[in-house]
Amino acid sequence: MRPEFRTLRDHPEVSVLIVGGGINGIGLFYELALQGIDVLLVEKSDFCAGTSAAMTRVIHGGLRYLENAEFRLVRESLRERNRLIRNAPHYVKPLPTTIPIFSWTSGMVAGVRNLLNWPTKPGNRGAVLIKTGLTLYDFLAGRKSPLPRHRFRSRRAALELRPALNPEVICTATYYDAKITYPERLCLELVEDAEAACSEAHAMNYVRLQSAAGGTVVLHDEVSGESCEVRPKVVVNATGAWIDATNREFGRKSQFIGGTKGSHIVLDHPELVKATGDDMIYFVNRDGRICIFYAVQGKVIAGATDIPTEDPDAVCDEGEVDYLLESMRQAFPGIKVDRSHVVFRFCGVRPLPRSNALTPGQISRDHSFPVLPAGNGIDFPIYSLVGGKWTTFRALAEQVADEILRVLGRKRVRSSADVPIGGGKGYPRMPEGTGLPQDRLLTLQERYGTGADSVVAYMQAGPDAPLNCHPGYSRREIEYIALNERVVHLDDLIMRRTLMGLLGEVNRPLLEELASIVSPVLGWPEEKAAAEIERTVQLLRKVHGAMAAA
């Protein structure tokens, strides 16, 4: 039995139960733990395996939301963006973002109508509109923003810098947001920091909500098959796109979510990597939708679609792949790009509020936390975390935590606003006296921030060697992750502790090598290791269109 289940069997009372371990559930877990609240988080899969792993990986203020006149949301998002650059500098880095512009005055009528609250489908945005938007964006970011202000480039300068860009461009604008290199790892670090801050805060992956009645909630361990009961005072439903389904499991009806699915593709295409350079290209399609392309470790990520769906488990379909490829051809007409370049695809469902907006892009990305009061056979209130963005998880968590503290009759003791997270503490300190080459140390720092200290100490405590199938990682580095980072399945390792899955680097020999390293650490007999390899192959093929030849 899991040690946490044993403790819960003896002491089932807990102040707060959070169901769902995406960024919103984990953000709240962290916030409550900092206040010394006994809190339990359960996640049916791995931490950050849902929509939170399907993001564009941009920490941003939401330039586009200015079109919907959501100034408060943009200001809050920019403030949180700036905080994340400070608190998680190991993973959140400045990202220059370039908008190719194809007209001077387009979009002004639609822009004014939207500002006046007459919703109008956005089309092409011209230079005047973009200049106005970026000036406002810089203003809302505040004087203390750590990022430079926007700038325009003439057609000539833009094409000199990026010769592959569509030659119909009349100028480009470049502004700054931030990229997040390892959102999944940042989630894990928040979990670990929370548990370190409060001995009564516990988070478990692969545990799902099973049923609820009266004051009791039954939890089910997906790995051992065991169940246990808890008696919470308050429940938070942080299950994102699954929120209404989860409320039904509590025996409560809700219609909070009107999700839209968003897909990305990852391309192995050196010419495109060169064409995008260090910038994210923010390209407005012929249909007025925005597509972004940027390079990550030698591959290009392109996304995202925005399509209404009722299915929280939606996957990226062939039509979406075609659409994203076509967008890239519009942006870079001289570059040949097709399906043979796609090495990975991923999809997530935005847990947006139900809405009658004209287009999915016009549904607000703001958050709310409606409450279902105790009743209908349930003795505790259920708060549902609806909407929001990855970027604003801390602001949402702060607001919900204040409400929960009020309900529990407790006081806030600490703000999370300036607390460094995980390997962001003491960054950019590097491990010293290790004898490792500088480029290897830099790679470890980029992967673990100042957490590289413990990784290196483990690596050096025994004989180590680079992996045969992925020399960028070493055997003891993988062993360290398996021992210390709550890996349950092989796909946790390749999808969320490393970028191997996202970058389309996985093949069967690599999976076999990884399984041979983690099996002794995780106590997997031979059949279990084989089953884990098969599970991962199926996941990569069916959900991510990867490993076609394996």
Ligand X SMILES: Cc1cc2nc3c(=O)[nH]c(=O)nc-3n(C[C@H](O)[C@H](O)[C@H](O)COP(=O)(O)OP(=O)(O)OC[C@H]3O[C@@H](n4cnc5c(N)ncnc54)[C@H](O)[C@@H]3O)c2cc1C
C-alpha angle 34/38/40, rounded to 5°?
100
Q: Count CB-CB contacts under 10 A for residue 286.
A: 10
Instruction: Name the CA radius of gyration of the chain, rounded.
Output: 23
Residue 24 within binding range of ligand X, rule CB under 6 A: yes
User: From the list 293, 390, 473, 524, which residue makes contact with ligand X (rule: CB under 6 A)?
Assistant: 390
> How far is the CA of 139 from the CAs of 91, 147, 150, 280, 331, in angstroms?
25, 12, 11, 21, 29
Helix spans in 280-422 (H) = 318-331, 393-408
* SS3 state at 515: helix
Give the distance from CA 509 to its chain's centroid: 28
**In the complex, residue closest to ligand X by CB:** 22
Residue 504 within binding range of ligand X, rule CB under 6 A: no
Closer Cβ to ligand X, 48 or 444, answer by number? 48
User: Shortest Cβ distance from residue 313 to ligand X (Å)?
Assistant: 9
User: Shortest Cβ distance from residue 206 to ligand X (Å)?
Assistant: 9
Q: Are 294 and 280 in contact (CB under 8 A)?
A: yes
Closer Cβ to ligand X, 392 or 450, answer by number? 392
User: Shortest Cβ distance from residue 435 to ligand X (Å)?
Assistant: 39
Q: Are 132 and 114 in contact (CB under 8 A)?
A: no
DSSP state of 5: H
* SS3 state at 481: helix
Residue 237 within binding range of ligand X, rule CB under 6 A: no
User: Shortest Cβ distance from residue 105 to ligand X (Å)?
Assistant: 29
User: From the list 209, 228, 378, 405, which residue makes contact with ligand X (rule: CB under 6 A)?
Assistant: 209
Q: What sign results for the dihedral spanned by CA atoms 126, 129, 131, 134?
A: negative
* Subset of 277-306 contacting ligand X (CB under 6 A): 303-304
User: From the list 5, 14, 16, 25, which residue makes contact with ligand X (rule: CB under 6 A)?
Assistant: 25
The two three-digit tokens of residue 175, written as one number: 């502004």
Is the preceding peptide bond at 428 cis, omega within 30 degrees of 0? yes
Q: Would you give the end-to-end CA distance of the chain in angstroms?
A: 36
Given the rule CB under 6 A, which of 102-110, 328-336, 381-389, 500-508 is the region that contacts ligand X?
Answer: 381-389
Q: Tokens 């009020």: give the residue.
A: 406
Closer Cβ to ligand X, 57 or 185, answer by number? 57
Closer Cβ to ligand X, 283 or 390, answer by number? 390
Residue 32 within binding range of ligand X, rule CB under 6 A: no
Which H helix or E strand runs over 201?
Answer: strand 201-205
Q: Count CB-CB contacts under 10 A for residue 10.
A: 6
Beta pairing partners, 190: none
Closer Cβ to ligand X, 185 or 476, answer by number? 185
Closer Cβ to ligand X, 70 or 513, answer by number? 70
* Subset of 37-96 contacting ligand X (CB under 6 A): 42-45, 49-52, 54-58, 60
Residue 246 within binding range of ligand X, rule CB under 6 A: yes
User: Shortest Cβ distance from residue 258 to ligand X (Å)?
Assistant: 13
User: Shortest Cβ distance from residue 180 to ligand X (Å)?
Assistant: 8
> How far is the CA of 491 from the CAs of 129, 521, 546, in angstroms?
44, 16, 13
Beta pairing partners, 301: 266, 294
| Phi/psi-derived region of residue 124, left when phi > 0, alpha when psi is between -120 and 50, beta in every other case | beta
From the list 200, 217, 197, 230, the residue with the least C-alpha distance to 38 is 200
User: Shortest Cβ distance from residue 392 to ligand X (Å)?
Assistant: 7
Closer Cβ to ligand X, 42 or 455, answer by number? 42
DSSP state of 253: -
Residue 388 within binding range of ligand X, rule CB under 6 A: yes
Given the rule CB under 6 A, which of 100-108, 239-247, 440-448, 511-519 is the region that contacts ligand X?
Answer: 239-247
Given the rule CB under 6 A, which of 14-22, 32-40, 113-121, 159-167 is the region that contacts ligand X?
Answer: 14-22
User: Shortest Cβ distance from residue 49 to ligand X (Å)?
Assistant: 5
Q: Tokens 């209130």: give the residue.
A: 381
> How far is the CA of 518 from the CAs of 223, 262, 486, 504, in angstroms?
17, 33, 12, 21
User: Shortest Cβ distance from residue 187 to ligand X (Å)?
Assistant: 9
Residue 327 within binding range of ligand X, rule CB under 6 A: no
Residue 22 within binding range of ligand X, rule CB under 6 A: yes
Residue 348 within binding range of ligand X, rule CB under 6 A: yes
Closer Cβ to ligand X, 60 or 475, answer by number? 60
Given the rule CB under 6 A, which of 234-242, 278-286, 355-363, 484-492 is the region that contacts ligand X?
Answer: 234-242
Q: Are 93 and 424 in contact (CB under 8 A)?
A: no
- Number of residues forming the site for ligand X (CB under 6 A): 40
Given the rule CB under 6 A, which of 86-94, 122-130, 235-243, 294-302 is the region that contacts ligand X?
Answer: 235-243
Residue 191 within binding range of ligand X, rule CB under 6 A: no
Residue 254 within binding range of ligand X, rule CB under 6 A: no
Beta pairing partners, 178: 59, 94
Closer Cβ to ligand X, 360 or 381, answer by number? 360
Q: Are 237 and 220 in contact (CB under 8 A)?
A: no
* Site residues, ligand X (CB under 6 A): 19-25, 42-45, 49-52, 54-58, 60, 208-209, 238-242, 246, 262, 303-304, 348, 350-351, 385, 388-391
